[in-house]
Amino acid sequence: MSADSLRQGYLAAFGAVAIWTGFNIVSRIAGKGALAGTDVLALRVGTAALVLLFAGGLPAGSLRDARIWLLTALGGLGVSIFAYCGFKYAPAAHGGLLLPGLQPFLAAVFAWLFAGESLQRHKLRGFALIALGLLISAIPMFGEAGGHALPGDALLLLASLSWASFGVLARRWGFQPWPLTRAITIMAAMLYLPIYVLLLPKHLAEAPWGALVFQALYQGAGAAICAMLLYLRASAILGTVRVSALFALIPILAGLLAVPILGEALTGYLAVGLVCVSLGAWLAARGAGRATRAVTPKAAICQMR
C-alpha cells in the first residue's frame, strides 16, 4: 500500500471520527428536546435521500440485491433508529462508550466471523489499552443512580452491533463507497418514510424551526452522507478493524465536547481515559505487518456502477 493511499485512508478516517463525535452531541441534544428518535430518523433519511436523488440517484440493480437490503437494514436504519431512541434515555457519555467505544472489539470479532481476518498480536496491546481507557472513563457512571438509562443503553448496544456488522460486510462484499451510500440512504427512505408518515406519532410541530433545520442538515448531509462516505473509503483502504480502533477516540472527544456544550463535568477519569484510549488507538491502528484475510469468493464481490 502506497504512502499516498495510507494518507488518504487516515484523512478519511479522521474526518469520519470528527463527524461521529459531533453525532453523539447533536443526537443527545435532540433526545433532550421534543423530538423523538423516530422524528430524527425521518429528518435524517428524508434530507439525505433528497440530496442524493439529485446527485446520481439509485444505482441500477440495487433493489434486486439482497445484500444491499441487508446493509440498508443495518447501516441505513438499524444503527440510526437504535441510537436516536437510545439517546432519549441515556446520556451522551453512555452513547460514546457503547457506540464507537465498542467498535474495535466488535469489528475484530465480526471480521473474524464474516471475513476470515485474523488478529495481529501487536493490536492486542492497543485493544487492551482502549478497554482500560473506556473502563476508567465509565467509572463515574457506576455511581450514578440512573437505572432509567438501562433501556437506552440496551438500544445503544444494538446500534453498535448494527454498525460493526455493517462495516465488515460492506468491505467483504466489495461495494464502492459512493454508490453504496446512495443505495442504502435512498432505500432506507423508501422503507422508513411511509411507515413514519402513516403509522408513527410525530413531534415535529413541537420543535422550533431552527432545531429541525439543524438536525436535518447535520444528520442528513453530515452523518448520513459525508460520514458514511468517509467511513467506507477509510475501511476500503485501511480495513474495518484499524478504522474501528481510531473510532475509539470518539467517546473521549465527545466527553470533552460535552463539557461546554451539554454542561457535563470534566473528570480526572475522563482525562486518564483519554490518554489510554489515544495510545491504544495508535497501537491498534498502526500498520505493523498485515492481517491475513480469507480469500473472498469472486461471486461475493459486487462492484456497483
DSSP line for 140-184 = HHHT---GGGHHHHHHHHHHHHHHHHHHHHHHHTT--HHHHHHHH
* Residue that wins the pLDDT comparison between 29 and 268: 29
Please tell me the distance from the alpha carbon of residue 6 to that of residue 24, in angstroms, as a whole number: 27
Torsion, Cα 236 240 245 250, to 10 degrees, reads: 80
Please tell me the distance from the alpha carbon of residue 227 to that of residue 68, in angstroms, as a whole number: 18
State the pLDDT at residue 215. Answer: 95
> Using one digit for the tens of pLDDT, what is the confidence trace for 188-245?
999 999 999 999 989 999 999 999 999 999 999 999 999 999 999 999 998 888 888 8
| pTM listed for this prediction | 0.79
Domain ranges within the chain, ordered by starting residue? 3-300
* Type of residue found at 244: S
Identify whether the C-beta of residue 221 lies closer than 8 Å to the C-beta of residue 52. no
State the pLDDT at residue 301. Answer: 34
Question: In terms of Cα–Cα distance, which of 52, 10, 24 is closest to 258?
Answer: 24
**Cα(first)–Cα(last) distance of the chain, in Å?**
24
Beta-strand runs (E) in the chain: none
Mean pLDDT of 1-27: 90
Residue 141's pLDDT band (cuts 50, 70, 90): low
* Residue that wins the pLDDT comparison between 48 and 143: 48
Residue 229 C-alpha cell reads as 462516505
Mean pLDDT of 41-60: 93
